[in-house]
Amino acid sequence: MGKDKLKRFAEVATFSNVVQLDAGIPYKGVWASDFFKNANPVVLELACGKGEYTVNLARLFPQKNFIGIDYKGNRIWRGAKDALEEGVNNVGFLRIQIETLLDYFAIGEVDEIWITFPDPQPQLSREKKRLTSPRFLEKYKQVLKSGGFMNLKTDNDGLHAYTAEKIKEHGLKLHISTENLYHSEFADDVLSIKTYYERKYLKDNKNINYLKFSFE
């Protein structure tokens, strides 16, 4: 591991807006009241990487609480540091494996979930690792409140098609589907947030897919 990564791992451990592994378990069911010290809605970004989308959502919606989730602490470091330096107090980061989500969030605790540009895991043998595979969808269904929304933003046409198929197979409610977000009517301030990687995809003339759905 490089010196920069080691330095970031050490520094992120001191950040007040980052919770790592087992330290997050006591917040299950009380993230709003005990971590954010308010009663505002809780929104998650899964596989948040550097946390760019999480922090930008928090800037747009100060009346909501945002938690970026990723396992790589050296990535989380960037978003967490930016939020602390700017005084964006309605954002936090949780370093866990997404597979363990139910250990950290209570039934119906979350208002909305974002998945932005995840690893599409294109190999058939890795389907279970796709963040919109049935085993993950079942976890999201439990932590989301009634009527809570799921959002998938991806440059990968295959993942978009796969997710749309699962939505149909499982009788979920599809609210928005587009294979070319920035040439659609849906590209508002929220969906126009662009991460570093999304800007690279757009420079390569890749289309951006977006799905919004719910479990009821």
Nearest to 83 by CA among 65, 110, 109, 106: 65
Q: Which residues are catalytic?
A: 119
Rounded CA Rg of the chain: 17
Rounded to an integer, what is the distance from CA 51 to the centroid of its chain?
Answer: 9
Adjacent-strand bridge partners of 116: 153
Look at residues 31, 177, 170, 159 and name the one whose alpha carbon lies nearest to residue 104. 31
30: how many CB neighbours lie within 10 A of its CB?
12
Q: Which two tokens stand for residue 135?
A: 């085993």
Q: Helix, strand, or coil here: 211?
A: strand
3-state secondary structure of 138: helix
Q: Are 109 and 44 in contact (CB under 8 A)?
A: no
Which are the contacts of 195, defined by CB distance < 8 A and separation ≥ 6? 49, 50, 52, 53, 116, 117
CA distance 65 to 11: 23
Please report the sign of the dihedral spanned by the C-alpha atoms of residue 57, residue 59, residue 63, residue 67. positive
